[in-house]
Amino acid sequence: MVDMSNVKLRIENIVASVDLFTELNLEKVIEICPNSKYNPEEFPGIICRFDEPKVALLIFSSGKLVVTGAKSVDDIKRAVNKLIMMLKKIGAKFHREPQIDIQNMVFSGDIGMEFNLDAVALSLPNCEYEPEQFPGVIYRVKEPRAVILLFSSGKIVCSGAKSEDDAWEAVRKLLRELEKYGLIEEEDEEW
């Protein structure tokens, strides 16, 4: 079994879609949103930036939002609650809790060992490697759905996961495949 104790993952970005279940008058909303931009000819929503938590929100008249730049799910919840408090001040009515759906999480990490990417690309299924175009192997995990970029240094980027558990499971699957094809040494320890 692969030893996961050396593997490190850190959340870099979370993107969520949110439904507030209420229509919004964007002309009113822009007046209460600091650090924001609204040009309906260019884009049909308000682009609003919060410093705390540090996120960007796309706010649409339908009451739907996209929140990006968050480093935790809690950051997303805090940003949505902050916006709701601001919207209540201009008379927006809320009849139910907002629905928050995580669309994508991006993690950076380190597997803690180096790799010969030519050997990885020749052995591993579900991967692409074109070193003239990109210096890493692109490995696709079907379930949970994620894409892992693996670099020769052992550094990784995992994208497309919908949760931290999914990201860890995707990395586990990559490591099992690397072990199966003899690209990393087997460990005696259980993980």
Domain boundaries, the chain: 21-97, 105-181
Q: What is the pLDDT of residue 4?
A: 80
Taking 70 as the pLDDT cut, the residues of the chain under it are 1-2, 185-191
Same fold, 21-97 and 105-181: yes
Q: What is the pLDDT of residue 189?
A: 42
List residues bridging with 24 in a β-sheet: none
Q: What is the pLDDT of residue 106?
A: 98
Q: What is the pLDDT of residue 1?
A: 59
Share of residues in the chain with pLDDT > 90 (%): 91
Q: How many C-beta atoms lie closer than 10 Å to residue 4's C-beta?
A: 15
What would the two tokens of residue 69 be? 């730049």
21-97 in CATH: which number?
3.30.310.10
- Range 105-181: architecture per CATH: 2-Layer Sandwich (3.30)
Distance (Å) of CA 122 to CA 5, 61, 75, 167, 179: 27, 50, 41, 24, 14
What predicted TM-score, i.e. pTM, was given to this entire model? 0.89
Q: How far is the first Cα of the chain from the last one, in angstroms, to the nearest whole number?
A: 7
